[in-house]
Amino acid sequence: MKTVTNGNNVKLHYKGTFPDGEVFDDSRMRGESMAILVGHGRLIKGFESALIGMTEGQVKKVNLTADEAYGPLRPEAIVTTPKSAFPEGFPFEIGLSVQGSGPSGQPVMAKIISFDNSEVTLDHNHPLAGKDINFEIELIKIEEETNSPTE
C-alpha cells in the first residue's frame, strides 16, 4: 500500500477547528480539495508532518499547539504607525484587516488593534498565531513522486 513520503504530490480535504470545536477553515465548505507537494515547506510543520505515512482514503485527526502551528504571538509584530500613512478618509475600525507595502515593496497584512487621532496600532502576527488548533485531514490521492521537495 502506497504511503505519503516527502516529494509526493497529494490531494486532500481538511477541516481546521479550535479546541472548543469552532471551525476556522474547511476545504469541503469551499468546495475544493487542496493539492500540495509534501516536504516543500508550504504547510505549517505540524500539518505536513501529519501527512507522512498516510494512505489514500485515510482520515487523521491532529491536535497542534501554537508552537507546532503558526507559532507564538510576537510582540515585535505589533507596531504603531502614523495615521497619515493611510489614505485620506480611511474608515478606521478595530479588528479591520488592512494591506500595505513592506520595506521592499512586498504586500503585508495587518489587523488594526487600536487607533487615536494621530496613530494606528497594527498587529502583523498571523491571525492564528498563539492559538492551539486541530485538523481533520482526509487524504484523497497520492500522485506521482517528484525528484526533490526543493525548488
What top-level class would CATH report for the domain 8-70+128-145?
Answer: alpha beta
Q: What is the pLDDT of residue 42?
A: 87
Domain ranges of the chain: 8-70+128-145, 75-123
Q: pLDDT tens digits for 126-146?
A: 999 999 999 999 999 998 665
The SS3 call for residue 111 is strand
**End-to-end Cα distance, the chain:** 28
Q: pLDDT tens digits for 90-137?
A: 999 999 999 988 778 889 999 999 999 999 999 999 999 999 999 999
The CA distance from 49 to 10, in Å, is 13
The CA distance from 112 to 117, in Å, is 14
Question: What are the phi and psi torsion angles at 141 (to 5°)?
Answer: -155, 140
Q: Dig out the grid coordinates for 50 from the structure.
A: 501529519
The CATH classification number of 75-123 equals 2.40.10.330
Contact, 108 vs 100, CB < 8 A?
yes
Whether 84 has a pLDDT exceeding 90, the answer reads: yes
